[in-house]
């Protein structure tokens, strides 16, 4: 059996995107379009992948530096055939080569595997993926003979009136035998108005040379839709969002309103978790079992344990352990580790801090650059004052501390285990274990002052 290789064409500018970013680097559900195609190629069995880059090539190369792919450069965009020519050194005689486009993120590995099986079973020199569509205008038409065998691919602008009625279209995805691809590329000509080399022209070249060319019809033409504009990007997002949400629901997750739930491709969600409307789950977020997330919450590269309740809140690059409650309107900023059975309440912000098990931060509190122990009670309006205008310092609070309302802890400062801090205090020195710290002016009432 021939080895499988993939060539991904990703050199185009994508002018209709109207963007400084190369087209293939625009994201669909948190992953660039070209990353989706690479993953599909790999899942189909292609371990050796060459990405043909051109416009914004260095940016594409930098983005894919950890993807273990090879690169070829198309310095001038002279057609799809010319693009594949740039990967000439990558093409082997004893290999099957699948040609993809970097702006087709919706293609599935299941379809490509079916194509490959068909290609090898029929011993085709070239296999095309085709589809039946209601409106074939703008596509290449697949023309067959009376026996259903492939005769030619004809572009819509070159088709006769009769050929334009053919609804079987060329999706542009091909599987070549390496020898056929090499030969076809070597005989490609650019004698057309655009002076470009078109990959579909290899079909008739190989057919006339005695090779076997055929098309495999698929059910879903939308799977092969290219993304050429922001409108089409949004359409691809909607399709992919539906696929991802369906996958999670089929694996035991309740999504109350899938149309208002956004889950990136790499997220992992445990059984019996409920996602309420307005949830956005980004990056490599991991959510445990039996959680309730939402409504209107955002998790980015964050880990939630089991049984977490997270409502109307945001967490970024942090972790929240089992049975903790977050929100409403809490903000967990990067590099936080929140323990088990913790309460992070309304309008609480936590940044670059560790919060121990059983601690309660119920409302209107800021914890920044702090190491907070277990079973601590934060009164309303507590602030760890971590910045002196020059440097940031840490606050360390021991277990079982009680902090009264409107307390300022001016870092660097340490509060010992079991200490109490009186409401309204500004703490600038260490508080020893089991002490009561009072740092405020004594109250004075001036009789008759208002009248005077």
> Given 26, 55, 248, 363, which residue is catalytic?
363
Cα 296 to the chain's mean position, in Å?
19
What's the CA gap between 165 and 144, in Å, rounded? 13
Picking from 422, 380, 428, 431, the residue whose alpha carbon sits closest to that of residue 405 is 380
**What dihedral do alpha carbons 171, 172, 175, 180 form, nearest 10°?**
140
Contact between 28 and 105 (Cβ < 8 Å) = yes
What's the CA gap between 111 and 37, in Å, rounded? 13
Contact between 104 and 6 (Cβ < 8 Å) = no
Query: Is 119 an active-site residue?
Result: no
What's the CA gap between 53 and 424, in Å, rounded? 62
CA triple 38-5-226, angle to 5 deg: 45
What tokens does 410 get?
Answer: 């001016």
User: CA 277 → CA 28, 261, 293, 347, 413, distances in Å?
Assistant: 20, 6, 9, 21, 42
What's the CA gap between 197 and 28, in Å, rounded? 30
User: CA 79 → CA 12, 14, 195, 201, 420, distances in Å?
Assistant: 10, 14, 9, 11, 74
Residues catalogued as catalytic? 363
């Amino acid at each position: 059996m021939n080895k499988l290789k993939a060539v991904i064409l990703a050199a185009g500018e994508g002018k209709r995107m109207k963007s400084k970013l190369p087209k293939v680097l625009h994201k669909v559900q948190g992953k660039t379009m070209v990353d989706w195609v690479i993953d599909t190629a790999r899942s189909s069995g292609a371990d050796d992948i060459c990405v043909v880059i051109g416009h914004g090539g260095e940016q594409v190369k930098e983005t894919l530096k950890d993807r273990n792919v090879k690169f070829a450069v198309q310095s001038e965009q002279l057609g799809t055939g010319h693009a594949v020519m740039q990967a000439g050194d990558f093409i082997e005689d004893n290999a099957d080569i699948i040609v993809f486009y970097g702006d087709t993120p919706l293609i599935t590995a299941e379809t490509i595997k079916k194509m490959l099986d068909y290609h090898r079973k029929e011993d085709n020199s070239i296999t095309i993926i085709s589809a039946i569509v209601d409106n074939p205008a703008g596509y290449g038409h697949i023309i067959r003979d009376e026996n259903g065998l492939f005769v030619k691919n004809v572009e819509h602008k070159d088709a006769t009136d009769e050929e334009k009625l053919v609804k079987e279209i060329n999706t542009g995805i091909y599987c070549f035998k390496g020898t056929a691809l090499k030969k076809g590329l070597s005989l490609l000509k650019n004698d057309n108005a655009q002076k470009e080399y078109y990959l579909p022209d290899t079909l008739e070249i190989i057919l006339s040379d005695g090779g076997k060319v055929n098309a495999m019809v698929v059910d879903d033409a939308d799977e092969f839709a290219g993304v050429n504009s922001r409108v089409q990007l949004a359409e691809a997002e909607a399709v992919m969002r539906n696929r991802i949400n369906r996958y999670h629901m089929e694996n035991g997750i309740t999504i109350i309103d899938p149309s208002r739930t956004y889950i990136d491709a790499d997220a992992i969600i445990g059984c019996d978790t409920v996602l309420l409307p307005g949830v956005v789950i980004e990056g490599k977020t991991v959510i445990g079992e039996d959680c309730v997330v939402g409504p209107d919450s955002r998790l980015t590269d964050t880990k939630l344990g089991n049984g977490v309740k997270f409502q109307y809140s945001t967490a970024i690059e942090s972790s929240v352990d089992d049975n903790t409650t977050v929100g409403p309107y809490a903000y967990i900023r990067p590099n936080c580790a929140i323990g088990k059975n913790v309460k992070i309440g309304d309008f609480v912000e936590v940044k670059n801090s560790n919060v121990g098990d059983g601690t309660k931060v119920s409302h209107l509190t800021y914890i920044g650059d702090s190491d907070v122990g277990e079973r601590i009670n934060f009164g309303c309006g507590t602030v760890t004052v971590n910045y002196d205008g020059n440097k940031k310092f840490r606050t360390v609070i021991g277990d079982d501390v009680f902090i009264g309302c409107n307390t300022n802890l001016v870092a660097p400062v340490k509060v010992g285990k079991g200490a109490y801090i009186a409401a309204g205090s500004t703490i600038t020195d260490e508080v020893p274990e089991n002490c009561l710290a009072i740092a405020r002016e004594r109250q004075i009432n001036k009789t008759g002052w208002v009248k005077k």
